[in-house]
A and B are shown apart, each in its own frame.
Chain A
Amino acid sequence: MAIGEPRATAGPGAVASVGATLVEDDAALRQGEALATGTVVRSQWQLFRRRFLRHRLAVIAGVVLILLYVMAIFAPLLAPYPLNPPLTEKVLLAARHGPSLAHPFGTDELGRDQLTRIMFAGRISLLIGICVAVFSTVFGTAVGSVAGFFGGRAEQLLMRFTDLFLIVPALAVLMMAQRGLGGSVPIIIVILSLLFWMYVARIVRGVFLSLKEKEFVEAARASGASSWRIITRHLLPNTIGPIVVNTTLVVGYAILTESTLSFLGFGVQPPTVSWGNMLAQSEGSVGTTTAYLVYFPGLFILLTVLAVNFLGDGLRDAFDPQSRR
């Protein structure tokens, strides 16, 4: 799928490679080891937390992300200036001023403080990121679970359907959909979610295919568990690692794609402010004295997506029972 430029083309699916390694197997192994050597037996969660906290960059990335979300949620309280100040003489005299102590990121041609705008824009960008990640994961997991668990016709049909979504040039489709449906935030979230669910679906299907042959599934079936129960209680908990890693990465891709769409004028529309449409509005200042208007919104996108990617990296290592550190 081609979300915009080449990088996004590999998609989240490319990153979350899935081994058929079993969390349960590993736990059993560990317990055996522990009994043999007399060391402390740790729960899955403790092991996960230990592995994750060892990953210093991922921890820092997590903290940065939390700070960004706090900044966005409490923007109305934290912002140093009003989002749209009245066009008084004082405000206009401060217009087009580069970064200074009073305005760390400068002001635009209407005297609007860029730091304030970036904080408010973060609300939209980060909201879109998290919503798209959650929706596409839920939908993709549902499709992948059904396809992987039941197999046969259902699998064929669902996976061909998934393939079809993978061959569309995604950015083009997004732009057309936005033109047809409008650019309100909920619609952008729905459109983006529809283009990010395929990767999760493929991953979940892949894991299910290998898991459903295992003895513990057979045991559950033998003791009379329904398909629904086997999926939700036995299979999904064992797939949680790849799913969570992929969800994290989708947050980053969604924020990148939203900013790209908004930049092209096919995303979030003014007066709602997002990092992408801030860049769209300041495109004209490239090569002028107000070029600083281009620097900061982009830096915030970069910072957010970078933090998300490092976090995903750390989570992948932490979920991987193979990494024994």
Chain B
Amino acid sequence: MGRSVAAGGCTLDPVFTYVARRIVYSVPILLIASILVFVFVRATTDPLAKFAQSRDPGAILRAKHELGLDQPLVSQYWHWVSGFVRGSWGLSFVTHESVASAVSRALWNTVQLILWGIGISLLVAIAVGVYSAAKQYSVLDYTFTGLAFIGVSMPPFWFALMAIQLLGFDLRNWVHSSTPIFYSVGIHSPGVGGPVDYLRHLALPVATLSVQLIAGWSRYQRSTMLDVMSADYIRTARAKGLSRNRVLLKHGLRNALIPLTTVTAIDIGTLFGGLIITETIFGWPGMGHLFFTSLLNGDTNVLLPWLMVTATFIIGFNLLADVVYGLLDPRIRY
């Protein structure tokens, strides 16, 4: 990483060659994915479904022509993929809005959920993981383990519904408030702005997302922490007379965070297209919500780029995970 290869006139840092190779390698994957996505969307979604009830026999033909559906499939694909690469993603069939701007707006809303979610989840998961490892087989460790098992076994949408019931309605009735403390729809109440309103809307969706993440990550952090704490250098540090807590946090935690970074990066990649349920239940206008409404409307112009964008995020964050792992762990060479 810091070591440049000077030999043979090649001065490129190995990280860059590695990253470049991975990016080049992911191009054919994306290309094949684009073909599959195109065929798949065409096979499953009928953009003309809304004309099925139409009395005008010419309507379907006109719409077909307008949408270019009367062209052969290969040229339709080429038309779409070349437009996609150049950034002209067309208009939504339904809202007639530019797909690119709809996707980027939805993306930003999803990013807000993801940032809050991973921030809170990482803090809690690391704290729980470190505690469980330090006090293995203690009452709290067993409690956390049980909670984590419940967390991964619970349908996320059910947690969301229960959260709306308990933290939205029951809590409101309990404090005799006219408005719920935590809202369950949208980003802002109509006509209201400001950070307080924002946080009151954010709380429940972020909680839904975080429960899943914390359950998985805390178990992971616990097991890597236990691995690290049994390493020789930990015993050396203790033998040198460092306090238990200092060894735990300085030597143990810092090394145990490296694997978690990888897992976090991979999980974040899947979140961009993975919040369909959370966003649908809470009416959060992000990527998942966009997908859901577009699918119901048969809006293939939105579905195609949506699938490509989310697949790209998954590939990109997988790459990031590998690179970051190498940067943090100097034993890894590219």
Could you list which residues of chain A lie within 8 angstroms of chain B, going by C-beta atoms? 1-2, 4-7, 9-10, 160, 163-164, 167-169, 171-173, 175-177, 179-181, 252, 256, 259-260, 263-264, 276, 279, 283, 286-287, 291, 294-295, 298, 301-302, 305-306, 308-310
Of B57-65, B126-134, B208-216, the one with at least 4 CB within 8 A of chain A: B208-216
A295 → B minimal CB distance (Å): 8
A58 → B minimal CB distance (Å): 12
A251 → B minimal CB distance (Å): 12
B223 → A minimal CB distance (Å): 10
Known: A7-B216, A177-B44. 10 other contacts (CB 8 A): A1-B270, A5-B209, A5-B274, A9-B270, A169-B270, A169-B310, A172-B295, A176-B303, A286-B161, A298-B158
User: Are the C-beta atoms of A256 and B155 separated by less than 8 Å?
Assistant: yes
Q: Which residues of A contact B164 (CB under 8 A)?
A: 286-287
User: Are the C-beta atoms of A176 and B209 separated by less than 8 Å?
Assistant: no
- In the complex, A180→B298 CA distance in Å? 11
Q: Chain B, 128-159, contact with A by CB distance < 8 Å: what is the 0/1 string?
A: 00000000000000000000011111111110
- In the complex, A179→B273 CA distance in Å? 18
Looking at A1, A172, A180, A287, the one whose CB has the most chain B CB atoms below 10 A away is A172
The verdict on B168 contacting chain A, using a C-beta distance below 8 Å, is: yes
Q: Tally of A-B residue pairs with Cβ under 8 A? A: 156
The verdict on B6 contacting chain A, using a C-beta distance below 8 Å, is: no
Q: Which residues of A contact B278 (CB under 8 A)?
A: 5
The contact of A287 among B36, B165, B311, by CB within 8 Å, is: B165
* Ranked 6 nearest A-B pairs via Cβ: A180-B44, A169-B273, A298-B158, A7-B212, A2-B274, A2-B270
User: Are the C-beta atoms of B270 and A176 separated by less than 8 Å?
Assistant: no
Q: Which residues of B contact A283 (CB under 8 A)?
A: 161
Q: Which residues of A contact B291 (CB under 8 A)?
A: 172
The verdict on B301 contacting chain A, using a C-beta distance below 8 Å, is: no
User: Are the C-beta atoms of B44 and A6 separated by less than 8 Å?
Assistant: no
Which residues of chain B (246-269) have a CB below 8 Å from chain A?
263, 266-267
B288 → A minimal CB distance (Å): 9
Q: Which residues of B contact A1 (CB under 8 A)?
A: 270
User: Are the C-beta atoms of A6 and B209 separated by less than 8 Å?
Assistant: yes
A307 → B minimal CB distance (Å): 8
The verdict on B5 contacting chain A, using a C-beta distance below 8 Å, is: no
User: Are the C-beta atoms of B156 and A4 separated by less than 8 Å?
Assistant: yes
The answer to whether residues A263 and B40 also contact, given A169-B314, A179-B295, A309-B149 and a CB cut-off of 8 A, is: no
B298 → A minimal CB distance (Å): 9
The verdict on B45 contacting chain A, using a C-beta distance below 8 Å, is: yes
User: Are the C-beta atoms of B276 and A6 separated by less than 8 Å?
Assistant: no
Q: Which residues of B contact A4 (CB under 8 A)?
A: 156, 274, 276-277
Q: Which residues of B contact A287 (CB under 8 A)?
A: 164-165, 168-169
User: Are the C-beta atoms of A264 and B216 separated by less than 8 Å?
Assistant: no
The answer to whether residues A286 and B153 also contact, given A169-B270, A177-B44, A264-B277 and a CB cut-off of 8 A, is: no
The contact of B152 among A164, A259, A309, by CB within 8 Å, is: A309
The verdict on B229 contacting chain A, using a C-beta distance below 8 Å, is: no
The contact of A2 among B157, B162, B314, by CB within 8 Å, is: B314
- In the complex, A294→B306 CA distance in Å? 32
The answer to whether residues A279 and B158 also contact, given A169-B311, A286-B165, A287-B168 and a CB cut-off of 8 A, is: yes
The verdict on B292 contacting chain A, using a C-beta distance below 8 Å, is: yes
The answer to whether residues A172 and B276 also contact, given A6-B209, A6-B267 and a CB cut-off of 8 A, is: yes
